[in-house]
Structure 1
């Protein structure tokens, strides 16, 4: 369980950070998308990108810290989406770069699922009773985690496909 959570969160947060930092324009678009919540300036966007970029290495080398950071970051981002929804703002989802969908309830659901993954990973690390994992188990955990990460990253596309 720990390995699957590590891979999923490392891929999701790594992709998110890289997509925002891929170019100056990508970073500007992200910064503009969060202006209604932050009042502008580059530091909030930079701080969020830095926190996202820290999750992948931390879930690997210091799992309790990495899972905790991921959970805290997802909680903050979910609160931001909730504020956008409560204020009735039309804010583009720039979570993974150049999305075209406005933030909505489905993004809260996606974030709550990520929060669950972070909590599950943290529980797997801190609670006693963890068992070693063998070769086929590693492959299964990695495969499931990569598929789940792809679904999270392309969440808007999947939701649009099913008319949600």
Structure 2
């Protein structure tokens, strides 16, 4: 159990590290996150939030996100530090999930700025992702502390390394959720109903004439009949048969 808790702590720490860095890496990213924060606050509170309030809430969120990986990394000094970081993650994920659920219920779907400037609108998959992370953070923090698994004094280094590596790999997948959905889902949807620009649908039994019009394709029998008719047609220079 201690390996599962450690892997969960690595997962949560890496996810929040990427989330915090993506929001402060550029001014445009910060401004976009402030706008999304204002939209979610309005959906959660039922009234518009001022620009100053949105900036303050966004700054608090980023600071809290940055504190999560720092606290989890400090477990080398004291195991309870990682538990504190996971507890902060539980509070953040709970707030995110509540605001997102309220926004979806009201039909508000701003772009997702969880891990940078993703153009994908917030949806059910983001709410599901938050709920899964909430469960992991709960198991890696408060629940792990109660069960005693959050203090793996007797754990083997090799097992901790394997669990930590698995947590980091899962963190990458979580951060790239929108890219994975676009990669694996969008092409299938496009192939089912969309036609690439510059191409035409191929309709069985039809062909395009040189003028661009779509005309029915003739069968081989029809083509042969036309050729036979053309062969029996009299040439202008051929004399008429005697009567």
TM-score range, shorter chain: over 0.9
Question: Aligned to 1:117, what secondary structure does the other structure show?
Answer: helix
Q: Match of 2:202?
A: none
Q: Match of 1:160?
A: 182
Gaps of 5+ in 2: 42-48, 75-80, 187-243
Question: Aligned to 1:101, what secondary structure does the other structure show?
Answer: coil
Normalised by the size of structure 2, how large is the TM-score?
Answer: 0.64
> How far apart are 1:158 and its partner, in Å?
1.7
Of residues 147, 151, 160, the one that matches 2:169 is 147
Gaps of 5+ in 1: none
**Range with bigger deviation, 125-134 or 2-11:** 125-134
Higher Rg: 2
Contact 1:64 1:126 in 2 (8 A): no
> How far apart are 1:119 and its partner, in Å?
1.0
Of residues 51, 61, 68, the one that matches 1:48 is 61
Of residues 111, 116, 120, the one that matches 2:139 is 120
Q: Match of 1:3?
A: 6
**Range with bigger deviation, 77-86 or 121-130:** 121-130
Contact 2:8 2:140 in 1 (8 A): yes
Of residues 19, 22, 29, the one that matches 1:19 is 22
Establish whether residue 107 from structure 1 lines up as the match of residue 129 from structure 2: no
Of residues 16, 31, 36, the one that matches 1:33 is 36
> How far apart are 1:124 and its partner, in Å?
2.3
Q: Match of 2:195?
A: none
Contact 2:40 2:100 in 1 (8 A): no
> How far apart are 1:126 and its partner, in Å?
2.9
Normalised by the size of structure 1, how large is the TM-score?
Answer: 0.92
Contact 1:92 1:101 in 2 (8 A): yes
Contact 1:6 1:60 in 2 (8 A): no
Contact 2:20 2:62 in 1 (8 A): yes
CA RMSD in angstroms comes to: 1.6
Q: Which has the higher contact order (CA 8 A, sep 6+)?
A: 1
